[in-house]
A = this chain, B = another copy of it.
Amino acid sequence: MFEAEISASKLQDTVSKIDALVDECKVHLNEDGLSVQAVDPASVGMVDVSLPKEDFAQYEADGELLGLNLVRFGEVVGMGNSGDTVALELNEETRKLRVKIGGLRYTLALIDPDSIHQEPTVPDLDNAEFDVVGEEIQTAVKAAGLVSDHMGLRHDHGSLEGFAEGDTDDVSVDMDTVDGRDIPDDEEASLFSLDYLDAMAKGLPKDSDVTVELGDDYPVKMTAELAEYGEMTYLLAPRIENE
């Protein structure tokens, strides 16, 4: 059985992290909480979200797996005001999810999980790590968008920089780092699609820390806290420089 209650704002926030990348996903309802791993149709970006039992007002699950239409689910949860509680209940027989917010009762048909894109495993990267406030990344992405459709991330002796080169103009943004770990002496840089970085940047928290793991022509990994006890990670494959 699956039954849970959670604040509408926590649930809305969680959905928005995932639907930045995908329209449908598999949701694992384990005993200790909910988790989602999803990769976009082009297999360029991944998202990994876990929301433990502690973030729910009430939570009971036995390892169920749901196929969820995120767009529709987000619309329903969006009917709630910030102070509202959302109650979720799975009907095993009809394979429908009952969503209850105040006097609103919504019966959501689920998707066959097998029809959804294979789930990725987010790898350990062992790269240089930097802690930055999310807004630093959002500003760099916005600035890069003035001149190009891709953006580089570079670290050099502890500094972290976003940069982009246009046909006539260039832009670079120094990001204020709060902390750093495992930083090699040599400069490293990777280039990314701005469409993906932009979607991910919007899903990152604006005012709190994001850990950025960066290598040389290597995927970037961005990890942040979700709700009070959860965690979210975006992983984005690099573009090859001479594309």
Stoichiometry, as copies per complex, reads 3
- Tell me if B170 and A103 are in contact (CB < 8 A): no
Give the docked Cα–Cα distance between A143 and B176 (Å): 44
Residues of B within 8 A of A170 (CB): 106-107
The one of B79, B104, B171 in contact with A105, judged by C-beta atoms closer than 8 angstroms, is B171
User: Which of chain A's residues 61-82 have a Cβ closer than 8 Å to chain B?
Assistant: 72, 75-76, 79
CB-CB nearest in chain B for A110: B168
Q: Does A173 reach chain B (CB closer than 8 Å)? A: yes
Q: Is A122 an interface residue (CB 8 A)?
A: no
User: What 0/1 readout, one digit per residue, does chain A (100-125) give for beta carbons within 8 Å of chain B?
Assistant: 00011111110000000000000000
Chain B residues, CB < 8 A from A72: 146, 169
Contact B176 A106 (CB under 8 A): no
In the complex, given contacts A103-B175, A103-B176, what are 10 additional A-B residue pairs having Cβ atoms less than 8 angstroms apart? A72-B146, A72-B169, A79-B139, A79-B142, A79-B146, A103-B173, A104-B172, A105-B172, A106-B170, A109-B169
Residues of chain A whose beta carbon lies under 8 Å from any beta carbon of chain B: 72, 75-76, 79, 103-109, 136, 139, 142-143, 146, 168-176
